[in-house]
Structure 1
Amino acid sequence: MSTAPSTAAPPREQWTGQFGFIMSAIGSAVGLGNIWRFPGVAYENGGGAFLIPYLIALVTAGLPILFLDYALGHRFRGSAPTVFRRIGGRIGRFTESLGWFQVAIAFVIGLYYTAIIGWALSYFVFSFDLRWGDDPTSFLTDEYLQVSEPGLSTTFVPGVLIPLVFVWVAVIAVLAAGVKKGLERANVIAIPALGVAFLVLVVRALFLDGAVDGLNALFTPNWAALGDPSVWIAAYSQIFFSLSIAFGIMVTYSSYRKRRANLTTPGLVVAFTNCSFELLAGIGVFATLGFFAFQQGTTIDQLDGITGVGLSFMTFPAIVSQMPGGPLFGCLFFGSLVLAGFTSLISILQVVSAGVQEKFGLTSRSAPVVVGAVSAVLSILLFSTTTGLLALDVMDEWANNIGIEFSAVVVTVLVFWVLRRGRELEYHLNAVSTFKVGRIWLFFVAVLAPVLLTYMLYERIKDLVLDGYSDMPGWYLATFGWGTIVFCIIAAIVLTAFRWVRSPDEFTPWPPYPPTPTSSERTEAGA
């Protein structure tokens, strides 16, 4: 299909300044995984020794790919499909499909991520009267989610449906308000509130009986674990998972920055703030688990449910029921989950909304409404039923550990080895930033990252093919697991085939590359 004739595009929305961008980027990076994933991953992979591969992964893969996303979005000024269309040049129609694959991954994640926030919102309310009683596990699976066997359920659970609808209304309202009045304002309010609430929670946890035992369990190093390749894979996976990279978020967010805007220094702030919050979460979670083990007369290694859904909705409610001031502690914990999840969710759905808006010529108000309405219907159909928890678990595994890692491998290989745009992006970062990158950045992002990610992707696919996942039936994994990846591929092909309302091709990146004798002067004068 041919590209439609170019028409004038409206002025691109922008953040009010660097502070608004940093807060929004932190809001995207700090999410549910920081609270319920990192502490368990660290504990199971060497404790204190895990911090070594974790920090190495941050420096050699997390930051380099974060800078890559920033450079792509800022230089080519658009959503993921627009950026990859523009960077592709003559093969732009092919490379555009990679952008739509990232949009599709974000769309899928948004469907189930909203459900988890809805659960956290319900549990925030339940904290006031400790409604889960003496058996939080049965309450979650039998009374609240009403979990049934794997299948295609049409039985809706009202207690899940109502908060899910509420979250979708809030998300659509924020996105429809735009970049400044919606995304930025929500993050500027939510992130400080999250920081205060979680800090209070951590300080309270440190004064519980058994807290020191919990911290010792988390931070006592198992140096032998550093010789296990799976520990290093876990470290790179955690960094990748927590920084919101390689599926369009930071590409989209950086495209709303002004032409003359520092990129790398804010990137360092975002990355190290995210990692600091993960360490804070680890301290709070394991201090609390230490109290729980003390109350049970056991040790941390004998506890079940120290990560993911089990930690948040089974173990923590049980802890809250036994501790002094439990209702307040529960409100702080689940309130933190809601805030952390919501700021990440709006960034995920902005990827989808921005792509649809630019491709089909919608306004910044109508695109979120269209995307939100379609997403809300599918989310309700899939995750407010009695099989919602099972579908969520499987889709999350495939979307994160297959979809995002596949996207990262393709992006790095395409940009650096096929299109040969590495030097241009290095020049762009250095032209607008105070912290300069060089050949070491090119090595990390063009050589080391794709090699490591390819190995990780291969190992994960092999495990899923040979061993399955979580004792789920094969047909169910094929439908909700591999089916998720097939859906994203088909969506990328179909959406690429549609005509652009406004051609993205008539675009000149700034600053000029290769640089002209006066390009440095233009750069200094650029807006």
Structure 2
Amino acid sequence: MSTSSSASAPREQWQSQMGFILAAVGSAIGLGNIWRFPGVAYTNGGGAFLIPYLVALLTAGVVYLLFDWALGHRYRGSAPAIFRRIHPRFEPLGWFQVGICFAIITYYAVIVAWSVRYIGFSMSRAWGDDPAGFFTGDFLRLIPSADAHITGSPVPGVFWPLVAVWAFVTLIMALGVAGGLEKMNKIFLPTLLVMFVGMVVRAVTLPGAVQGLNSFFTPDWSALTDPQVWVQAYAQIFFSLSVMFGIMVTYASYLPRRANLAPTSFVVAFSNSSFELLAGIGVFSTLGFMAARQGIAVSELEGITGPILSFVTFPQVISLMPGGQLFGVLFFGSLSLAGITSLVSLIQVVTAAVQEKFDTGRTASSVAVGLVAALASTWLYSTSNGLNMLDVVDNYVNNIGVVASAIVTVVLVVLVARRLPELHHHINDHSAQGVGKWWPLFAAVITPIVLAVMLALTILELLQKGYGDYPSWFNNAFGWGSLGTLILGSIIFSLIPWRSSVDHFRPAELAGMDPHPYEHHQNPDALTATAPQETR
């Protein structure tokens, strides 16, 4: 067994509860809040969508945020270590979650790099009269999706900003949980809020803003009878809050033992949703202005969600509005900050797992992960084929990989290991205001059914129709192939021996219940009764 300093050193911790809250909010608030939520709400009932959205927030967002936090806070480790501590055969699930985060960071970083570049482009309005042609042509030099292939030629205007982004986030990671992540979020989140509020205030004062807000908030009550609208609400909450694929588990593992879990989960969940609502107001005020200038209805506009909204539609608005340069700096600056706070949370999942598995120091782990991820990121996504690959990998990893991870987690932890009563007890034992019987009901029964329906519908549609107009081999290679690679990688990493054992750990006892019911009557491979118990 290794005796290096990393094995014996105490686990890093957040310096304060507020530091943890800011980090969790920073992880949740990302690119999807700004460019996905407004479009999803608009196309799924407008104001009426807020009803299923609120239901999903309470029954899935808060529920699984607490689920993750209970796992991380109780078992105190990286995702692979936590699932191994529940049962050694569960370790591959932890590595699958690490793999999901690694796949996402390789393309998430390039979107941050685009945002950083567009801060400068906003000042000079570099896109001229054709933002769409500039984005896909002059800037990305994009190969048409129908001609997508393995990789393309490097694009210097993307490559070098991407290298700079990776250098910056690797430095933040190397500084540690308190010295890097916590300090960064304390600076970036308030800055993000001020910049974004400034952008929204400018947007709502534009001519035509009321028309845009009416389009966003006018309810289509008939949409509430459409099951797909409810599925979309759960999907938005699920992906937006960064739950059930390693992030919140890892973040909670750095909390001090005396923490306040349940109330904090509501603070984080509602902070994230409030930002999404603010984003919707800002985006649709801007779209209303654009529609008024063109003499058309907001519904006739194209590019109301995704990269096209950010890098084509908004540049068009910037070119039309008075003071557009400042508006552009605020918008793309906000997009960059939101992207970075989410990016570092994804990287932390990978870094923590590598650090624990191979018993390396924080700096060495951060540099190793940053270097490997940067190489993959630049090779795949800074090329003329980058957006095509990003689109396919993101669709399959997020819509299948993340949801499958959640379902498997519930099955293993709740049904196989039967740890739900323990997690419920842990939440209430570490909360000023606990949660009632509704929490295990939604965590173990109702919400998993919704997720299973989501997954089945997604897989069925992809099998029947494919994705986009990409060649079928391209979807198979980078869509299904990405998922297959994650599964294979999770098995391989689980077979590698731990340089410093994580098995000799027992969580603190909970008053009134056996903290280890599983090991007494289940598999003999479970944790031994002689393992040292963690104290409070």
- In structure 2, the residue matched to 1:141 is 136
Find 1:317's aligned residue among 310, 315, 318: 315
- In structure 2, the residue matched to 1:35 is 34
Find 1:230's aligned residue among 228, 238, 261: 228
- Equivalents in 1 of 2:511, 2:131: separation in Å? 60
- In structure 2, the residue matched to 1:64 is 63
Letter in 1 for 2:225: G
Confirm whether residue 112 of structure 1 aligns to residue 107 of structure 2.
Answer: yes
CA contact (8 A) 2:34 2:280 kept: yes
- In structure 2, the residue matched to 1:420 is 418
- In structure 2, the residue matched to 1:82 is 81
Confirm whether residue 447 of structure 1 aligns to residue 442 of structure 2.
Answer: no
Percent identical pairs in the alignment equals 54
CA contact (8 A) 1:428 1:511 kept: no
- Equivalents in 2 of 1:507, 1:186: separation in Å? 31
* Corresponding pairs, count: 513
Secondary structure of the 1:260 match is coil
Secondary structure of the 2:349 match is helix
Alpha-carbon shift at residue 471 of structure 1 (Å): 1.1
- In structure 2, the residue matched to 1:385 is 383
- Equivalents in 1 of 2:395, 2:152: separation in Å? 23
- Equivalents in 2 of 1:514, 1:105: separation in Å? 37
- Equivalents in 2 of 1:223, 1:229: separation in Å? 13
Secondary structure of the 2:401 match is helix
- In structure 1, the residue matched to 2:374 is 376
Secondary structure of the 2:148 match is coil
Distance 1:5 1:326, change over 3 A: closer
- Equivalents in 1 of 2:251, 2:98: separation in Å? 14
Alpha-carbon shift at residue 514 of structure 1 (Å): 5.0
Alpha-carbon shift at residue 349 of structure 1 (Å): 0.6
Alpha-carbon shift at residue 6 of structure 1 (Å): 8.6
- In structure 2, the residue matched to 1:499 is 497
Alpha-carbon shift at residue 414 of structure 1 (Å): 1.1
- Equivalents in 1 of 2:498, 2:419: separation in Å? 25
- Equivalents in 2 of 1:282, 1:424: separation in Å? 39
Per-residue displacement from partner, 1:147-196 (whole Å, max 9, x unpaired)? 01301234100000011000000010000000001000110100000000
- Equivalents in 1 of 2:383, 2:172: separation in Å? 26
- Equivalents in 1 of 2:116, 2:481: separation in Å? 29
Which segments of 5 or more consecutive residues in structure 1 lack a partner in the other structure? 517-525
- Equivalents in 1 of 2:262, 2:30: separation in Å? 22
Per-residue displacement from partner, 1:187-245 (whole Å, max 9, x unpaired)? 01000000000000000001000000000000000000001011000000000010000
- In structure 2, the residue matched to 1:130 is 125
CA contact (8 A) 1:86 1:505 kept: yes
- In structure 1, the residue matched to 2:51 is 52
- Equivalents in 2 of 1:175, 1:25: separation in Å? 16
Moved more, 262-271 or 42-51: 262-271
Alpha-carbon shift at residue 283 of structure 1 (Å): 0.1
- Equivalents in 2 of 1:487, 1:110: separation in Å? 16
CA contact (8 A) 1:6 1:501 kept: no
CA contact (8 A) 2:203 2:286 kept: yes
- In structure 2, the residue matched to 1:432 is 430
Secondary structure of the 1:128 match is helix
Find 1:283's aligned residue among 269, 281, 284: 281
CA contact (8 A) 2:2 2:359 kept: no
Map 1:120-519 to 2 at 5 A: 120-148=115-143, 149-512=147-510, 515=513
Secondary structure of the 1:171 match is helix
CA contact (8 A) 1:424 1:513 kept: no
CA contact (8 A) 1:406 1:457 kept: yes
CA contact (8 A) 2:72 2:82 kept: yes
Alpha-carbon shift at residue 513 of structure 1 (Å): 6.3
Which segments of 5 or more consecutive residues in structure 2 lack a partner in the other structure? 515-534
CA contact (8 A) 1:50 1:235 kept: yes
RMSD between superposed Cα atoms in Å? 1.4
CA contact (8 A) 1:424 1:514 kept: no
Per-residue displacement from partner, 1:291-331 (whole Å, max 9, x unpaired)? 00001110111000000001000000000000000000000
- Equivalents in 1 of 2:511, 2:105: separation in Å? 37
Find 2:94's aligned residue among 95, 99, 110: 99
Secondary structure of the 1:258 match is coil
- Equivalents in 2 of 1:153, 1:510: separation in Å? 50
Letter in 2 for 1:308: G
CA contact (8 A) 2:152 2:386 kept: no
Secondary structure of the 1:494 match is helix
- Equivalents in 2 of 1:161, 1:28: separation in Å? 25
CA contact (8 A) 1:110 1:349 kept: yes
CA contact (8 A) 2:78 2:253 kept: yes
- Equivalents in 2 of 1:266, 1:134: separation in Å? 47
